[in-house]
Structure 1
Amino acid sequence: MTETQDTNSAIRRHLDKTGIAISALCAVHCVLTIIIVSGLGVGGQFFFSEEIHRYALVVALIIAAVGIGWGALMHRRREPFVIAMMGLSFMGGALASPHGTQEAILTIIGVALVSLGHLLNLRAHK
């Protein structure tokens, strides 16, 4: 393997690991938002802000497109890409839902699928 291939592989792994971490943070955000806002009645304006969700989806799209798309081109497996895109579709659907439990469920399903796509992408390189 050349030095360029090693560097590219390291970048892909870093993108996949970042995608998994961001997905986990998103799931935690969803659960904590419901608990904090419904239990304490505080922070709804910040935690339910549509801008946060839109920006998060854009970041997830970029990381998944580059990391998983690049991986799919290298290892020729479509499962990571298909699963991640399905997850991103759930996340997009969550943006169209009213704030609350339904949105959180769609988002958590979405981030779980995106994380699975990144994980499969990492495994496909081994």
Structure 2
Amino acid sequence: MSVSLPLARFWAGIDTRLDRIAMGISGLCLVHCITTTVLLTVISSAGSLLNPAIHEVGLVLAIGMGGFALTRGVMSHGYMAPAIVGAFGLGIMAGALSLPHGDFEIFWTLVGVSLVALGHDLNRRATY
């Protein structure tokens, strides 16, 4: 019993840090989306400054980190709700990536990112 308790505390600390990092990355994604929108509104050629692959790479990183942190959370505390909310947000982000730029792509991306951040916050809170 005494050996597993420190190990459980260790993993709880790792899980909490991963969720906080993932929430920070979600915030950076939100800032990126808003900044790009403003730049595109002010300067119509600003979209060509960024490589479009940044969105695909960002989604792959979000799925990887989200999948790891949220799965660890379910294994740690047993609550599925954080993982379901986070997975739903990742799905919305992936769906938004398939939309043409300018339609509702930015709106759905922001909704997805917000849900992923909420899932990580719920996961972090359930760990305590």
The TM-score, its normalising length taken from structure 1, stands at 0.92
Which amino acid is the alignment partner of residue 11 of structure 1? Answer: I
Q: What SS does the corresponding residue of 2:60 show, helix, strand or coil?
A: helix
Matched position secondary structure for 2:104? helix
Aligned length: 125
Question: Which residue is 2:54 aligned to?
Answer: 52
Q: Which residue of 1 aligns with 2:107?
A: 105
- 2-structure distance, mates of 1:46, 1:61: 25
Cα distance in 2 between the residues matched to 1:19 and 1:100: 26
Q: Tell whether the 8 Å contact from 1:12 to 1:67 is kept in structure 2 after alignment.
A: yes
In the alignment, the residues of structure 2 paired with residue 69 and residue 100 of structure 1 have an alpha-carbon distance, to the nearest angstrom, of: 33
Deviates further, 1-10 or 62-71: 1-10
Gaps of 5+ in 2: none
8 Å Cα contact 2:71/2:83 also seen in 1: yes
1:79 matched to 2:84: no
Given candidates 24, 27, 38, the residue that maps to 1:24 is 27
**Residue equivalent to 2:93:** 91
- Give, as a single letter, the amino acid of the residue that structure 1 aligns with 2:57: Y
Instruction: State the 1:101 CA deviation.
Output: 4.8
CA RMSD of aligned residues (A): 1.4
Structure 2 residue aligned with 1:118: 120
Q: Residues of 1 paired with 2:18 and 2:115: CA distance?
A: 16
**CA–CA distance in structure 2, aligned partners of residues 111 and 85 of structure 1:** 11
Tell me the distance in 1 between the aligned counterparts of 2:22 and 2:49.
Answer: 23
